[in-house]
Structure 1
Amino acid sequence: MSDRTPVQNAELALLLEVTGTPKPGNVDRERDFADLRFEHFMAGAVGARPGLALASEGEPVGHALERAVAGMADQSAGNTQFGALLLLAPLVAAASEGDLTPAGADEVARRTTVADAADFYRAFEHVDVAVADPPAGMEPLDVRRGSEAIPTLEERGLTLFDVMEQSVDADGVAAEWAGGFRRTFDAADALLADDGPVPDRASRVFVELLAEEMDSFVLTRNGPEAATEVQRRARAVLDGEEGAAALAEELVDRDINPGTTADIVAGALFVALERGLVV
């Protein structure tokens, strides 16, 4: 068993996630986007560590997240791992409390406050994040408004968990928060049950998750037709009908980026590392 702390494992999880190759549509150690490169993800992981350390020290999850995002953004490409940090903040807190289980992580999420929600909104001022338009009547709570939305949050008494609950239909990371981090822990089990180099395991689990559900980031950025196609073709990779590397090249060329799936893999890698995944 490693003597790494939860914070060290969280940083390592972010680094291992981006080294997994191939991950169709995502930056990995063999593929870059024109304005988003492998090195940016490495810098983002290192920059996020002080914020994640706050989560391990018992600081409020929202504050830890906002600081982690600010540190992540201290590189030239902007947003690299916002969704992954949104998963890691409560997971690191649960691990530091000695209860890194679905129930333990769910308890951390449910005890968040209005102040945590306010810090979550402030985090959007550090980077541009592609999010779906809010439903009719919810425009005052559009996260892209950043701190301008905080008075509405406070007026309505919405905690960070409440905000996540309201976003489950549009965002896969929010669905993890509201659903006991089910896919994250299931993916961690898959990583632990697999063998071979950890980045290769991460790549395989990524494709499995992509085949299981439509990626909400693709749905937001590219639309339902693209999201359905990516899911179908990930299933074809699992069935041996298509090559993962060729699909990875094509999706990068088409600027189709299943970022939510990558976020869940990062969270799963953290859980697996805490449970004894050997690197």
Structure 2
Amino acid sequence: MDDERSTAANAQLALLLEVSGTPKPGNVDREREYDDLRFEHFMAGAVGARDGLELATEGTPVGRAFERAVAGMSQQRGGNTQFGALLLVTPLVAAATQGHLSRQGARNVVANTTVDDAVNFYRAFDHVDVAVDDPPTGMEPLDVRQGSDAEPALRDRDMTLEDVMEASATEDGIAAEWTDGFGRTFEAAHGLTQSNGPVTNRASALFLALLASEVDTFVVTQHDAETALEVRDRAQAVLDGDEDPYELAAEFIERDINPGTTADIVAGALFIALERGLSV
């Protein structure tokens, strides 16, 4: 880690670098944005998240730190800018603070979560609207869209934040990272440290590589599995030289196709790489 930059600052910088990379087909970047979700909103979201990220470096339980980061992030007019990225980065910040920024260190953070952490995770949904699927039949009391109203059900079932993530891991790419030691994120971070050029260019190249390697679960939620498969295959076509990434980016923005899970993993990878000495 840069001696002049704290762990919380690296987390904030990771959010800023992620949104600054271009092109990232379907996602807001420094050249493309939606009418109601703009580049400036992501800048403000990263600034607002800083207090919660600082809490994670001070030993505050990860659920509370995440909820505070989301609360701060929400203080801009675009709404949900970095919910998923913060859900990925916050436990990594905690692991780094404990001196174990590794897959095992991240697993330890997850394993040590509590019911209170789960309650605070749900409270984060009080601050912003997050696109999620309907819960399975019988699981309605645990619908995350209930926000803090779900607290009695969480406590009745004695569900930790690890338990919550395990329940969603097959449908949600960020929850899957939580239950698998953040494998894709650490692998992506290694790729960043081995590449060359401006970090924002490396981040956009990583985005395309990740998008081509696996279906983006947010696209499945936002649209459907067929659209997500199309997105994956067309990202591969960009890598193969058969499609222009800038044209694809414009098309996905027009179609409101937003591969948000992939962007979240890029943010997490940037944080790990910065902590490991990636120079900016």
RMSD over aligned Cα atoms:
0.6
Letter matched to residue 199 of structure 1 = T
In the TM superposition, what is the alpha-carbon distance from 1:132 to its structure 2 partner?
Answer: 1.4
Corresponding residue number in structure 1 for 2:31: 30
Q: Distance in 1 between matches of 2:195 and 2:245?
A: 18
Q: Which residue of 2 aligns with 1:278?
A: 279
Query: Residues 184 and 267 of structure 1 are in contact (CA less than 8 Å); yes or no, is this contact kept in structure 2?
Result: yes
Amino acid of the residue matched to residue 145 of structure 1? Q
Q: CA deviation at 1:135?
A: 1.4
Work out whether 1:70 is the aligned partner of 2:71: yes
Q: Residue 89 of structure 1: CA displacement?
A: 0.8
Query: Do the aligned partners of 1:165 and 1:175 also contact (CA within 8 Å) in 2?
Result: yes
Which contiguous aligned blocks of 4+ residues in structure 1 show a shift greater than 6 angstroms?
none
What letter is aligned with 2:246?
Answer: A
Corresponding residue number in structure 2 for 1:203: 204
- Taking the aligned partners of 1:245 and 1:159, their CA distance within structure 2 comes to 42
Structure-1 separation of matches of 2:137 and 2:171 = 14
Residue 24 of structure 2 corresponds to residue 5 of structure 1 = no
1:212 aligned to 2:213?
yes
CA distance in 1, matches of 2:244, 2:196: 20
Check conservation: 1:62, 1:120, Cα contact below 8 A: yes
State the TM-score, normalized to the length of structure 2: 0.99
Equivalent residues in 2 for 1:235-274 (5 A)?
Answer: 235-274=236-275
Does 2:119 correspond to 1:118?
Answer: yes
Residue 186 of structure 2: aligned partner: 185
Residue by residue, what CA displacement relative to the aligned partner does 1:175-229 show, whole Å, maximum 9, x if unpaired? 0001100000010011111100000000000011101111011000111111010
The one-letter code sitting in structure 1 at the alignment partner of 2:95 is A
- How far the C-alpha of 1:69 sits from its partner, in A, is 0.1
Separation in 1 of the partners of 2:152 and 2:207?
38
TM-score by length of 1: 0.99
- Counterpart Cα distance in 1 of 2:70 and 2:279: 27
Given that 1:183 and 1:264 are in contact with CA atoms closer than 8 Å, whether structure 2 keeps it comes out as: yes
Residues of 1 paired with 2:117 and 2:262: CA distance?
24
1:84 aligns with 85
CA shift for structure 1 position 104 = 0.2
Distance 1:94 1:129 in 2: 26
What is the CA distance between 1:110 and its match in structure 2?
1.1
Work out the percentage of aligned pairs sharing the same amino acid.
Answer: 67
Q: Distance in 2 between matches of 1:245 and 1:108?
A: 39
What SS does structure 2 have at the residue aligned with 1:166? helix
Could you tell me how far apart the structure 2 residues matched to 1:175 and 1:244 are? 28
1:170 Cα deviation from its structure 2 partner: 1.3
Q: Which amino acid aligns with 2:2?
A: S
Distance 1:109 1:134 in 2: 23
Q: Where do 5+ consecutive residues of structure 2 fail to align?
A: none
Q: Which residue identity does 2:89 align to in structure 1?
A: L
User: 2:96 corresponds to which residue?
Assistant: 95
Matched to 2:185, the amino acid is: T
Kept in 2, the 8 Å contact 1:132–1:170? The answer is: no
Equivalent residue for 2:149?
A: 148
CA–CA distance in 1 between the matches of 2:17 and 2:112?
A: 30
The structural deviation recorded for 1:245 is: 1.0
How far residue 134 of structure 1 moved from its aligned partner, in angstroms, is 1.1
1:12-43 CA-to-partner distances (Å, cap 9, x unmatched) read 00000000000010000000111000000000
* Deviation, structure 1 residue 147: 1.1
Q: Distance in 2 between matches of 1:170 and 1:127?
A: 21
> Residue in 1 aligned with 2:44?
43
Inter-partner Cα distance in structure 2 for 1:126 and 1:113: 21
Shift of 1:137: 1.3
Equivalent position amino acid for 1:275 in 2: R
Amino acid in the other structure paired with 1:28? D
Deviation at 1:122, TM superposition (A): 0.3
Structure 1 stretches lacking a partner, 5+ long: none
Partners of 1:128 and 1:146 in 2: how far apart?
Answer: 10
- Match of 1:256, as an amino acid? I
